[in-house]
Amino acid sequence: MITQASERVETRPMDQEADLFQINAIDHVELWVGNAKQSAYYWKYWGFAPVAYSGLETGNRRNASYVLEQNKIRLVLSTAYSPHDEMAAHHLLHGDGVKVIALEVDDAELAYRESTSRGAKGVLAPTETRDDFGRIRISAIQAYGQTLLKFVDRSDYQGNFLPGYKTLPPDPTVKPVGLAAIDHIVGNVELGKMNYWVNWFHQALGFRQIVHYDDKTIHTEYSALMSKVMGNGNGRIKFPINEPAEGRKKSQIEEYLDYYIGPGVQHLALITGDIIGTVRELKARGLEFLRVPNAYYDSLPDRVGKIKESYDDIAELGILADRDDEGYLLQIFSRPIQDRPTMFLEVIQRRGARGFGVGNFKALFESLEIEQAKRGNL
């Protein structure tokens, strides 16, 4: 059986009063990796420039961290010096992956107090650090798996990242590709745990479910998953949560959970204003994307209708398209960005649509299963 869910984005005006505390943006995403120095070179292909560094040379005896930026996207890559460090143990278990999703808030103390008083587990009580550029306040709570949600208040800080980081000189080898901001961050959780985390985001952060899938389960012939999207009041933070569903064979979500050894971030979706230009450049640099069967493009103009881009370009580059009540979106998914089949990236362009491309799920999952089968994991 192949069924296809449809999606409806919540159109009720998002009133900020519903939020328990003000969240302005995604401040940064930190990945704990095996070799941060070399990973930083990989991310240069994606157009990210190293802008700040912390490590032995700056007095950090524990770990090396590189801060990378492209427009409003800020990533941090960290590796421990000691095998006894928590960071090293995390890497041994999970491989490369997202450890921290940091949210820029007006008040890190309030965010911590509100979320922990509503059941979130505190990991870092509100802490203030200072340097010549001012003061930063940070707190953190535990999210799915070993992933942390950090709250960062940088309103009294003029430095370029955090105290303890030194600014790096501009890197002339980095050429941006037009990736502008993080659109959404998707988490994979265990079978039966999706609603737990949907409720957790509602309880702890005041988030609401912003996308309703009429058919909660998305099937292909072999595998299935369920997904719900949680978002904050101003609509800037969108966290879809997936769980595997029963299917004839192993779902892509189970494959992730098996290789990440538990729940974690499945993909970061990076938004661009020109997906044709961005993807053409990324492919020219050798980055690898999933490709749906060519038959997908035969019916695409009928399904999606008139668009500003050329369908020839879209088919040539392997970009996917979907339409909802408000417009359309274009998207493409990378192959996993580390050896384990865990995290990947999405490049997305929105032309009005606020959904997540549910019309592409079936074609996409079938392509993912071809890759899973190649890995012996279907």
Provide the 10 A C-beta neighbour count for residue 45: 15
Residues linked to residue 347 through DSSP beta bridges, in sequence order = 270, 332
Minimal distance, residue 312 CB to Fe ion, in Å: 25
Minimal distance, residue 184 CB to Fe ion, in Å: 6
Residues 325-364 contacting Fe ion, CB under 5 A: 346
Structure tokens at 106: 């007006």
The closest residue (CB) to Fe ion is 269
Give the DSSP per-residue string, 158-211.
-SSSSTTPEEPPP-TT-----EEEEEEEEEE--TT-HHHHHHHHHHHH--EEEE
Q: Minimal CA–CA distance to 218: which of 362, 356, 20, 84?
A: 362
Of 194 and 269, CB closest to Fe ion: 269
Minimal distance, residue 195 CB to Fe ion, in Å: 20
Window contacting Fe ion (CB under 5 A); options: 34-42, 95-103, 214-222, 269-277: 269-277
Of 27 and 183, CB closest to Fe ion: 183
Report yes or no: 160 and 170 within 8 Å, Cβ to Cβ: no
Report yes or no: 166 and 220 within 8 Å, Cβ to Cβ: no
Report yes or no: 38 and 337 within 8 Å, Cβ to Cβ: no
Q: Where are the beta strands (DSSP E) in 247-308?
A: 264-272
Of 80 and 270, CB closest to Fe ion: 270
Minimal distance, residue 203 CB to Fe ion, in Å: 24
Exposed e or buried b per residue across 104-119, where buried means at least 16 C-beta atoms within 10 angstroms of its C-beta: bbebbbbbbbbbbeee
Of 10 and 107, CB closest to Fe ion: 10
Of 304 and 329, CB closest to Fe ion: 329
SS3 label, residue 254: helix
Question: Is 69 one of the binding residues for Fe ion (CB under 5 A)?
Answer: no
Question: Is 322 one of the binding residues for Fe ion (CB under 5 A)?
Answer: no
Question: Is 271 one of the binding residues for Fe ion (CB under 5 A)?
Answer: no
Question: Is 368 one of the binding residues for Fe ion (CB under 5 A)?
Answer: no
Question: Is 269 one of the binding residues for Fe ion (CB under 5 A)?
Answer: yes
Of 254 and 346, CB closest to Fe ion: 346
Minimal distance, residue 348 CB to Fe ion, in Å: 7
Minimal distance, residue 267 CB to Fe ion, in Å: 6
Interface residues with Fe ion (CB under 5 A) are 269, 346
